[in-house]
Chain A
Amino acid sequence: MNNLIQNEMMKLLAKKRLVIIGIIVGVLVLMFTYAQYKQVKEQQEKLGTDDWRAALQQQIIDTQNRLGSNRMLDEWREQLQVSLKQQQYYLDHDINPSEPGATTFTRMFLENAIDLFIPLLVMIVASDMVSFENSQGTIKLLLTRPVNRWKILMSKYVTLLLSVSIIVAMTALLSYFLSGLVFGYHGWEAPVITGFGLNGSDVDVSQVRIVEQWRFLLMDMGLVWLVAVVVGTLSFMLSVLVRSTPAGMGIMLAALISGAILNNMVSSWESAKYFFMVNLKLTTYVSGTAPPIEGMTLLSSVITLLVWWALALIVSFTVFTRRDVY
């Protein structure tokens, strides 16, 4: 088993996929860093001060004005009201919700990347994990060895898990080190407020407490990792089921993108919460933004994702061990 994993690992590293992913992340982080830098500068210009309280107050006023407009979908209004109350809470307690620095940037980047960007990166590795052996014909060489088929697939899956871990770690490290060039490497100790309880547009602050940002960041990374593993496992399953890699990738991509779209409009379609792609934004629970469908909780989302994960594994292993290869 160990040798098999080593073998798979060798194949993975020889394909240089991880290097490509690193380059993609690097370029994107640089772009976002620059964009954010520009934004901060422009805002300072507009307000005439770099005082974050004045900036936050202005944001609150803008949100209040948007809420005043009567042509607005109810769910948007609700979300705006929630974020308004949270902003006001930050302001009232004199805490900067986005303390400048590389740590905040990394946290924001991960929170925004969790439902689409990280899954895409994972797909780059996962979607041809099995199917490329089909297309290159090497599957026969692999299967003629005197090893159980499930062991072969297991070694591939373990390799996938390992590379998913590398991808998440690499994304976090790259965004920390690259954005730090501009924003500085501080913000570890900055306070972050967590534990907002949501009930429709009401924000319950009785459970609220302050966490140092580094703890918050680590918790975020754990959640990002779970999402990456589940998405990786699903594309792994497709790579077993569908012999052509592009087809598998296409299916997965369609699912992910539909998830991003559904997130904005499913609030009235309640059973949509059993789709895995609606449950990807796990970090929103911790930071306290409203979930896309009322009644979704961190636990329900995690369980939904785990059920999908388990089903994908069962399907992959049954199909792979039973299939005729010719």
Chain B
Amino acid sequence: MSKTKVLAVTVVSVVIGLFFLFCLGWAIIDYYGKKASDIGLNETNPIEKNLPEDFTVVALGDSLTRGTGDETGKGYVGLVVEDLESKYNSKPLIHNLGINGQVSQELVQQVKQTEVKRQLHTADVILITIGGNDLFQQGQTLFDYDLTATSELQENYLENLNTIFKEINNVNDKAAILLIGLYNPFIELDEDFDTNRIVRDWNNETAEVVALYKNAIFVPTFDLFQLSVNDYLYSDKFHPNKAGYRLIADRVAPLIQWEDEK
């Protein structure tokens, strides 16, 4: 190895070393010397940046949208998409925004987010499951059965539901909105049918709100689970199992019209 080569490597590495030292100083000074934000962040509404023109399904809501209880993880949303796929021989675009345990108040917040709005804007069908956590609160409501408390919950819920529909219609008044009704997972534990009455009433009031919006459809599920609820519930006795989701999907899928507008 020649002397000049060694010298060259040495000089180069000295330069690199000093440069890194400079970068280090810069990093620390920059980190602590941060000026107040004159950052010019673009707060522009990115709704217009379009997603592809495919048939788009946006699913909002709670654990039912997420598919909790289905060991294959699909949930009714996944099953509906599969049905559509085999019926129309083309894959729809699906945005599943379901969050476990979501209550209507949180969904109101979610549909106000810019990105969620943008996705809703491009949607052709919007699927919603909400209210189950509002009403049941992990089973709490029904065990200490209290009519005034329940009706207060219901009032808040209906108000939130109205807001949700309004928000959605603001960005997209063409898409069909399918709101999935509640079933009663406690039907077998209940001897004098108190819970049935509450859930039925809840569903009726929900359907009344849905009826105010002409592109919205209320999809009942109460009857599906009425007779043999345990065959269709997951081991937590709250969420549907795979067969239960199948029942819901079979009801939802035929309602979706995939028009060949393209």
Contacts and interface: CB of A to CB of B under 8 A. Distances in A.
Interface of A: 5-6, 9-10, 13-14, 47-49, 51, 53-54, 56-58, 61, 64-65, 68-69, 88, 91-95, 161-166, 168-169, 195, 206-210, 218-223, 225-226, 285-286, 298-299, 302
A13 B6 contact: yes
A163 B28 contact: no
Contacts of A51: 51-52
A68 B101 CA distance: 7
Interface residues of B, number: 58
B13 A162 contact: yes
A41 B96 CA distance: 19
B27 A161 contact: no
Contact of B1 (A14, A91, A210, A218): A14
Given A6-B3, A48-B54, A91-B114, A162 B14 contact: yes
30 contacts: A6-B10, A13-B1, A14-B1, A49-B51, A54-B119, A57-B119, A58-B95, A61-B98, A65-B66, A65-B99, A65-B100, A88-B113, A91-B113, A92-B115, A93-B43, A162-B17, A166-B9, A166-B16, A169-B20, A195-B34, A208-B39, A209-B37, A209-B38, A218-B27, A219-B31, A222-B26, A225-B20, A225-B24, A285-B31, A298-B31
A219 B30 contact: yes
B24 A57 contact: no
Given A48-B54, A49-B51, A54-B95, A10 B27 contact: no
B98 A222 contact: no
B95 A226 contact: no
B147 interface: no
Nearest to A218: B23
Contacts of B93: 47-49
Contact of B115 (A57, A220, A221, A285): A57
B21 interface: yes
Interface in B86-122: 91-101, 113-116, 118-119
B27 A219 contact: yes
Which A-B residue pairs are the 10 nearest by beta carbons? A222-B23, A222-B24, A219-B27, A165-B17, A225-B20, A162-B13, A68-B100, A209-B39, A165-B16, A48-B93
Contacts of A163: 13
Contacts of A226: 24
B34 A94 contact: no
A9 B12 CA distance: 12
A49 B52 contact: yes
Given A94-B42, A207-B34, A218-B26, A61 B115 contact: no
B143 interface: no
A137 B123 CA distance: 76
Contacts of B35: 209
A9 B9 contact: yes
A221 B13 contact: no
A58 B43 CA distance: 21
Contact of B13 (A49, A56, A165, A299): A165
Given A9-B6, A9-B9, A299 B32 contact: yes
Nearest to B116: A57
Contacts of A58: 95-96
Given A92-B115, A209-B34, 9 more contacts: A48-B54, A53-B118, A56-B115, A57-B95, A88-B113, A92-B114, A165-B17, A207-B37, A218-B23
B24 A223 contact: yes
A226 B31 CA distance: 15
Nearest to B2: A10
Interface in B185-218: none
Contacts of A222: 20-27
A9 B6 CA distance: 7
Interface string B40-68: 11111010010110100000000000100
A286 B38 CA distance: 18
A154 B113 CA distance: 59
A216 to B, nearest CB: 9
Contacts of B51: 49, 51, 54
A22 to B, nearest CB: 13
A74 B40 CA distance: 35
B227 interface: no
A172 B34 CA distance: 26
A207 B24 contact: no
A48 B10 contact: no
Contacts of A14: 1
Nearest to A223: B27
Contacts of A166: 9, 12-13, 16
B23 A221 contact: yes
Nearest to B46: A94
Contact of A92 (B6, B101, B113): B113
A113 to B, nearest CB: 15
B66 A302 contact: no
A286 B20 contact: no
Nearest to A88: B113
B3 A286 contact: no
A61 B99 contact: yes
